[in-house]
A = this chain, B = another copy of it.
Amino acid sequence: MKILVWNEYRHECKDEKVHDIYPDGIHNTIAAFLRADGHEVLTATLPEENCGLSEALLDSVDVLIWWGHMCHGEVPDAVAALVQKKVLEGMGFIALHSAHHSKPFKLLMGTSCNLSWREDGDYELLWAAKPSHPIAQGIDRYFKIAHEETYGEPFDIPEPDETVFISSYAGGEVFRAGLCFYRGNGRIFYFQPGHETYPIYHDENVQRVIKNAVLWAKPTYRAPLECPHVKKITL
């Protein structure tokens, strides 16, 4: 499989704490553990021309992983629309953490994707709500992330097609943290963990889920979506 990891790559450059956790950027940390699984992995970032994305590049990859936070607004609308189009044509899409508010994810959901949040470094517990799902394989009944930004319901999304993980936090909040959506020819997985100030993508369970999600999101069928003028068939 060929995977593209997109990262806005801003926190790592500006904030020493984040830089220490991800010296080469979140994208390279994710790329590394996916390469270890035998995948071909490319990366692209916001500072690159056209965000490092082109139609030809997106057509060449099976799955796009997206991490963004403070710079959602800097992604041009045309780039977001291109990503949406490619997902609808069949490219898998994995939206991580604050990518709930990224332009491509919001375009694909059609809702505000708003949620409640607080940033106190509390722990998160991720519970497998559907242990038989391909994305939950290798995960126990639950796993704990020692420090994470807290996200809470209501999460304004369409009712998910499959609810794989639900989280709780030290403050008692709950959040649907691992969710599958089928849209057009593509498969979308939203996954909550990944606040930049904690070493979350170094966590083995988080890596396991992302590795599983990449396999799950692989396209079956990929084609431009048409709105054809058809002829009456002969019966």
Name A residues whose Cβ lies closer than 8 Å to a Cβ of B.
84-85, 88, 90, 101, 107-112, 114-118, 120, 122-123, 125, 127-134, 137, 141-142, 144, 150, 152-156, 158-163, 166-168, 170-174, 176, 181-186, 219-223, 225-233, 235
User: Is A128's CB under 8 angstroms from B154's CB?
Assistant: yes
**Residues in chain B near residue A90, CB distance under 8 A:** 132
In the bound assembly, the distance between CA atoms of A90 and B112 in angstroms comes to 12
User: Is B231's CB under 8 angstroms from A118's CB?
Assistant: yes
Q: Is the interface of A mostly helix, strand, loop or mixed?
A: loop
**Residues in chain B near residue A172, CB distance under 8 A:** 125, 142, 168, 233, 235
User: Is A153's CB under 8 angstroms from B132's CB?
Assistant: no
**Residues in chain B near residue A142, CB distance under 8 A:** 172, 233
User: Is A112's CB under 8 angstroms from B154's CB?
Assistant: no
**Residues in chain B near residue A231, CB distance under 8 A:** 118
- Taking CB as reference atom, which chain B residue is nearest A232? B171
**Residues in chain B near residue A163, CB distance under 8 A:** 159, 163, 176
**Residues in chain B near residue A182, CB distance under 8 A:** 158-159, 162
A145: min CB distance to chain B, Å: 12
**Residues in chain B near residue A228, CB distance under 8 A:** 116-117
In the bound assembly, the distance between CA atoms of A230 and B120 in angstroms comes to 11
Instruction: Select the residue from A120, A142, A168 with max chain B CB neighbours within 10 A.
Output: A168
User: Is B168's CB under 8 angstroms from A117's CB?
Assistant: no
**Residues in chain B near residue A173, CB distance under 8 A:** 127, 168
